[in-house]
Structure 1
Amino acid sequence: MKIIIVTLKQHNIDNFYKLKKRYKTYNFYLITKKENLSLKNIEKINPDIIFFPHWSFYIPKEIYQKYKCIIFHLGNLPFGRGGSPLQNLIIRGIYKSKICALKASDVLDAGEIYLKHNISFKKSNAQKIYEKMSNIIFNKLIPKLLHTAIKPQKQKGEIMVFKRRTKEQSNLNTLKNPSLIKIYDFIRMLDAIDYPKAFLEFENITMIFQNAKKHNNQIKAEVIFYEK
């Protein structure tokens, strides 16, 4: 069986090689660049399944119409379709959800669902949560999808579509009715590699916040000062 995994994130790439070493009877291929995801390149491999862990880009229609494409999304779908799901959940005070394995489809995150797996994220920063998600995807969901014939089911329930967050929304001044727990959540939910971290601006200085820790009635965080 030929398997392609498409991802940009280093923690997923690391888990790819662990998976490849673990399941030597499968032929695994890795795509790590957006421009390499083309029908021409996919046809050269002619895979049985293509997995998309933490893939935030458009999947060409000609690929998912021809091949079995499974994406992974945080959210108890259909609640939580759309962009920045982790941040949109945490900012709403939601700390438990699901990781869904679902078919790629014409409508964003609306495909039939193969599997759901519980996940909680009341603590830790976004980077650690993404790594936790990756471990669940590569150690639980992908192996089960490889070894079990699962018929995907249509999504049922209330549809909630999240908007992808912008860099400007990482400004702490955008936080409504701030409290210690809200500030803690705000800093940690944005604290990941290649993600716009929480910040404040003062005249010609920008302050970036990371590594937030909550202890009793205090929050401690690292602050980096930049001149604009």
Structure 2
Amino acid sequence: MVYLFCAYRDWAILLYQKLVKKHKDLILLDNPKKLTSTYLKKIKPSLIFFPDWSWIISKDIIKNYQCICFHESNLPKFRGGSPIQNQIIRGIKKTKTTAFIMNEKLDGGDILLQRDLSLNGTLNEIFSRMIENDYFLINRIIEGKFRRRKQAGKSTTFKRRKPEESELETLDYSKKYIYDFIRMLADPYPHAYIKFGKKKIVFKDAKYDGKKLEFRGEII
């Protein structure tokens, strides 16, 4: 069987490299322009995995192929864009990686599997946990070890964050809030920043031990 893996960020490429050692027929697609019905008819994938994708997928593809998306929230909560950031800034420390069948409703398809995901630590640490989760879930799905079910409970939906939302308009927040704000916007996202006249301080990352807040940044 042929499986298609649609992703482009560094952490997702690491996931692909780990998976392809076990599944030789797993094909990587990292260019949205190549995701066409013509291409899919040629390779005939049994499953299409979307662990990391920022573009709209055509209704024709969703209708005619088993498209499986991986979303970092306990669906139906936190549907939509920037789920990691939208949860961290609201003080959520534990969530889920959810694998679900895509349909025409935003993050609204049937759930196949879920796995616990901690949102503590740096983004790189979170990405490492996401790799572990997605690796486990994709293997289970290929093996057919899942139970498909409808989403249940009250849904919430959030928009993808915009670069201008990375601005800290004031430092009159708690140290914990500032720490979360900075760490959730580390690479590859638009970094947190604060303006000072014609200049701004850009925060690259931060450390917080409960008392002392440290950060690394630059003045632009």
Per the alignment, residue 103 of structure 2 pairs with 105
Give the TM-score normalised by the residue count of structure 2.
0.95
Following superposition, the deviation at residue 151 of structure 1 comes to 4.0
Match of 2:117 among 91, 116, 119: 119
Q: Deviations over 1:79-131 (max 9, x none)?
A: 1101110010011111100110001110100000000100111222x243123
Q: Comparing 63-72 with 146-155, which one deviates more in the overlay?
A: 146-155
Following superposition, the deviation at residue 148 of structure 1 comes to 2.1
Per the alignment, residue 12 of structure 2 pairs with 12
- Other structure's SS at 1:173 match: coil
- Other structure's SS at 2:78 match: strand
- Tell me if the contact between 1:53 and 1:134 (Cα under 8 Å) persists in the aligned partners: no
2:123 equivalent to 1:129: no
CA 53–169 in structure 1, closer or farther in 2 if over 3 Å, else same: same
2:178 equivalent to 1:157: no
Following superposition, the deviation at residue 174 of structure 1 comes to 6.6
2:185 equivalent to 1:187: no
Q: Deviations over 1:4-29 (max 9, x none)?
A: 000011221122122111234xx111
Give the TM-score normalised by the residue count of structure 1.
0.92
Q: Please list every run of at least 4 consecutive aligned residues from structure 1 whose deviation after the TM superposition is greater than 6 angstroms.
A: none
- Other structure's SS at 1:117 match: strand
Q: Deviations over 1:147-193 (max 9, x none)?
A: 12534211000111111111111111178x61010010000011122
Q: Any unmatched runs of 5+ in structure 1?
A: none
CA 114–211 in structure 1, closer or farther in 2 if over 3 Å, else same: same
Q: How many residues align?
A: 220
Write the distance in 1 (CA, Å) between the matches of 2:211 and 2:153. 38
Q: How does 1:167-178 map to 2 (within 5 A)?
A: 167-173=163-169, 178=173
CA 81–32 in structure 1, closer or farther in 2 if over 3 Å, else same: same
Amino acid at match of 1:144: R
Amino acid at match of 1:196: P
Per the alignment, residue 55 of structure 2 pairs with 57
Q: Comparing 201-210 with 42-51, which one deviates more in the overlay?
A: 201-210
* Sequence identity (%): 37
Cα RMSD after superposing both structures: 1.5
Write the distance in 2 (CA, Å) between the matches of 1:224 and 1:32. 31
Amino acid at match of 1:54: D
Q: Any unmatched runs of 5+ in structure 2?
A: none
Write the distance in 2 (CA, Å) between the matches of 1:43 and 1:192. 36
- Tell me if the contact between 1:81 and 1:109 (Cα under 8 Å) persists in the aligned partners: yes
2:220 equivalent to 1:223: no
Per the alignment, residue 193 of structure 2 pairs with 199
Write the distance in 1 (CA, Å) between the matches of 2:35 and 2:16. 17
Per the alignment, residue 47 of structure 1 pairs with 45
2:187 equivalent to 1:212: no
Q: Deviations over 1:52-95 (max 9, x none)?
A: 00212111111111111100001111111011100100111111
Write the distance in 2 (CA, Å) between the matches of 1:135 and 1:94. 20
Write the distance in 2 (CA, Å) between the matches of 1:182 and 1:95. 13
- Tell me if the contact between 1:209 and 1:224 (Cα under 8 Å) persists in the aligned partners: yes
- Other structure's SS at 1:101 match: strand
